[in-house]
Chains A and B, each alone.
Chain A
Amino acid sequence: MDTAQILVTLAGTGLVVFVVWYFFFGKRETKAAMLTASGVQEISVLVKGSYTPEIIEVVKNKPVRLKFYRDETSSCSEELVFGEFNLRRELPAFETTVIDITPTKIGTFEFTCGMNMLRGKLVVR
């Protein structure tokens, strides 16, 4: 092994460790939906490369309004799938798409992009 090979091997190993740590063990942003005067738990979600916040906390049996604003044109985020609520919605770019649901059971429900690569969670307490 020459110097270049040693450097490439070390850098490669470092990168692999970084990729695994960065994508699988990072901290995710959590935010609770805010209860409005009309009794709706409301939260705005920014769709840009991912969902911000990624984890949304709500309480059971109260209507939830999720306002997804898609701030990009990348086709990866053009669809939103919420399997638990039988929802598949298109999110037009640079527009707010309102999704109204009422979770009736406690649990963690995933929402994803159409191809299941971008993920967010709705935590119902």
Chain B
Amino acid sequence: MNADQSDPVISTVTLDISGMSCASCAAMVEDALATTPGVQKASVNLASEKATVSFAPKQVNVEMLKTSVESAGYGASEIKHDGNRAAQAEATETRKLAEYNALKRRFAIAALLAAVIMPLSMTMLFPSVEHFFHQTIGMQALNYILLVLTLPVLLYSGREYYVSAYNTFLHRAANMDTLIAVGTGAAFVYSVVATVVPALFEQHGMKAEVYFDTTATIIALVLLGKVLETRAKGQTSAAIKKLIGLQAKTARILVHGQEQEIPIESVVVGNIVVVRPGEKIATDGEITEGSSSVDESMLTGESLPIEKTQGSSVFGGTVNKTGRFTFRATKVGSDTALAQIVRLVEEAQGSKAPIQRLADKISGIFVPAVVVISILTFVAWFNLMPADVRLPFALVNFVAVLIIACPCALGLATPTAIMVGTGKGAEHGILIRNAESLEKAHQISAILLDKTGTITKGEPTVTDFVILGELALRGKTIQLAASLESNSEHPLAAAIVNCGTREGVQLLPVSHFMAVEGKGATGVVDGKRIAIGNTKLIADENIILTQEALQTAERLIANARTAMFVAIEGQIQAVIAVADVVRGTSREAVAALQARGIEVVMLTGDNQKTAEHIASEVGIKRVFADVLPQDKANAVKQLQAEGKIVAMVGDGINDAPALAQADVGIAIGAGTDVAMEAASITLMRSDLRDVVKAIDLSRRTMANIKQNLFFAFVYNVLGIPLAAGLFYPFTDWLLSPMIAAAAMAMSSVSVLTNALRLKTIKL
């Protein structure tokens, strides 16, 4: 398919239509759309309040369609699905920035006015100043000035709190805004009454005090907290933003041999995409021409560039380093590895950790409970204090209780840490399915490692190439052996061919090739008859098995290797040992897991002897050998029956039931095939050290959540009684509502700042 075909002549958009009440409304909207130039077809569904419009994008755009609907007297907004995520993310960023700037403006006004209101309210601290006001304008006039100065703080800066509290109240719900609105509202109303009719207080022997400074300062401080909170919250989702930002915006595709740059959304499967050195790869595909090394660290955490040649897979969002190549797009849009990673991380960040349940229960009843406590506080102090001071005393404590209570800290404690933790994991190629998996991973007490592909590389490799014939040349023997085996499809043959490639030998043509099942292969290379295989093949070929060859083979077999003889022209010239070798990092990872108090157990289909050999090589003490693939899940059950929290690590190929049975299933070496359903944690690299990192990340995140929850609980449990004046009879401690506001603003910020610390941990 070329670009001309993929370029849509007709686009379709779905609009949400608001304001329609009857069938004639629907007809009017349909008519308005259908008569807009460029519109091919418009259909409006009254029940779903949707319009589906087919239009020529060259003549009309979505904005113009919306205007048509609006000029007919209805509202329209576009329903957006998975389109260009990067563009959507950008739009969200712009909107958030505008909201943040508006919030800062509201804070600036409140802070500025509070800075004026505060000293004017404190004249009683300076008798000469107070005397001056008494003599000139009088105290009541000063109060009116304070009232006028406070009004913009309430009506502009704090307006949202009152509107939200009212809307929430209408729906029998209550939130943070309720507390702020009731607290500041009560202080304000009291002050207005004291300003307008001071006699009401004076006739009862009370001083007509005003609390405009309290009202303004609380709103300013709450807004300051909000500004800081918004800034910090933006950083918790930095990892996902970074991932979304990896997506290329355009692709250069080949159309009739000509390069043509098109938007990424227009790329379709089958397009041939050109990539130059230093460029970002637009989408997933397979190299059709050229070679290069590609930096895939942003997706997999693998720091070394990966060599790519014709036929290799490449992934959107990764960066081409050295060469120029072309590739055929095989996956686009939401099917790409990057899109799947983004989806996985987003889902994890949206999930709830079981540890949050208690906090959720509390925050659900928190606000009404605090309102009840504040009312009781008011009643108690009104009854306990002397008549001349009881009203202001009760009011101040009532306001302090409402303002100090901070359900936000409770609400933020877990999700922010989960967001930062899962994001941190993604940066290291550790994809965590959900918060529950992350929570479970910190409790792991036993870890079951599947041998093949996990501890070992999962592919046979030549470990020894022992030359026996004195005159034989090593290089030549390897060349002949590799050439013969290049005709075979046996996995052991592949190991010998790879060995030849590593040694840099050139493969020669083979004639008379024959694969003998269960024995080996024979053929003629470079005019010589070659036989590679086991003792049965050597016997079939009537070749004398020398004592030296036999002993060499036995020694290799004792080391858990598979041995093969190489005969050239009827004489044994070499013994090749092949084994599935242990990954270089496995031993270190096993030691690190054991150091964390986790029992490491190996699982394999090999016999006990071979299994124990590999296990001892990496430092594993317990082994489940001779396990058939279908019995892997039973091994997990056996460990669970011992009372252990079990993690199963496998490559996900034939161990899905075991991964699902385990408390934490960890799929290793997923590469960019991240859709591993059975795993709770997917590791993109084939490095057991990432298992250690995943467990460390889980432990650190859980510790962080516990700190946050502890802080949020203790803050409220101590703060609310203190504000209610519970300690006043014994210690004379009372909390000014302004201090309460400062504490409340800082409590959410503290929780967020602590969660953000997770970004800096070293894994």
Query: Which chain A residues have a beta carbon within 8 Å of chain B's beta carbons?
Result: 1-2, 4-5, 8-9, 12-13, 15-16, 19-20, 22-24, 26, 28, 34, 36-37, 42, 44, 48-52, 54, 67, 72-76, 81-83, 85-90, 92-93, 95-96, 98, 112-119
Contacts and interface: CB of A to CB of B under 8 A. Distances in A.
A8 B379 contact: yes
Which of A51, A74, A87 has most B Cβ within 10 Å? A74
Contacts of B177: 74, 76
Given A36-B45, A92-B92, A87 B350 contact: yes
B47 A36 contact: yes
A86 B173 contact: no
26 contacts: A1-B383, A5-B382, A12-B376, A19-B375, A20-B368, A22-B172, A23-B173, A34-B47, A44-B49, A48-B171, A49-B164, A49-B167, A49-B168, A49-B171, A73-B99, A74-B175, A81-B352, A81-B415, A86-B347, A86-B351, A90-B92, A115-B176, A115-B410, A116-B364, A117-B364, A118-B173
A115 B412 CA distance: 6
A73 B172 contact: no
A50 to B, nearest CB: 3
A54 B172 CA distance: 11
Interface stretch (B30-38, B76-84, B679-687): B76-84
Contacts, number: 150
Interface string B152-183: 00000000110110111111111111000000
A13 B360 CA distance: 28
A72 B176 contact: no
Contacts of A89: 350
Contact of B174 (A16, A23, A83): A23
Interface string B617-639: 00000000000000000000000
B714 interface: no
Nearest to A51: B171
A120 B586 CA distance: 48
B408 A24 contact: no
A88 B375 CA distance: 35
B371 interface: yes
A115 B168 contact: no
For the residues of B in contact with A, the DSSP-based class is helix
Question: Which 6 A-B pairs give the minimum distances between C-beta atoms?
Answer: A49-B167, A115-B411, A50-B171, A88-B350, A74-B164, A12-B379
B565 interface: no
B749 interface: no
B80 A98 contact: yes
Contact of A81 (B77, B169, B346, B350): B350
Interface string B340-356: 00000011111110000
A116 to B, nearest CB: 5
A102 to B, nearest CB: 15
Interface string B379-398: 10011000100000010000
A55 to B, nearest CB: 12
B134 interface: no
Given A19-B371, A49-B164, A86-B350, 10 more contacts: A4-B382, A8-B378, A9-B379, A49-B170, A72-B164, A74-B167, A85-B350, A98-B80, A114-B411, A117-B407
Contact of A24 (B348, B365, B382): B365
Interface string B357-382: 00110011111100110011011001
B130 interface: no
Contact of B383 (A9, A42, A85, A119): A9
Contact of A117 (B226, B352, B363): B363
A93 B92 CA distance: 11
B48 interface: yes
Contacts of B143: none
Contacts of A112: 360
B659 to A, nearest CB: 19
B242 interface: no
Contact of A50 (B168, B226, B371): B168
Nearest to A83: B352
Contacts of B411: 114-117
A74 B160 contact: yes
B231 interface: no
B368 A113 contact: no
Given A15-B375, A72-B167, A82-B350, A23 B172 contact: yes
A83 B435 CA distance: 10
Nearest to A35: B47
Given A16-B376, A19-B371, A118-B175, A88 B415 contact: yes
B1 to A, nearest CB: 28
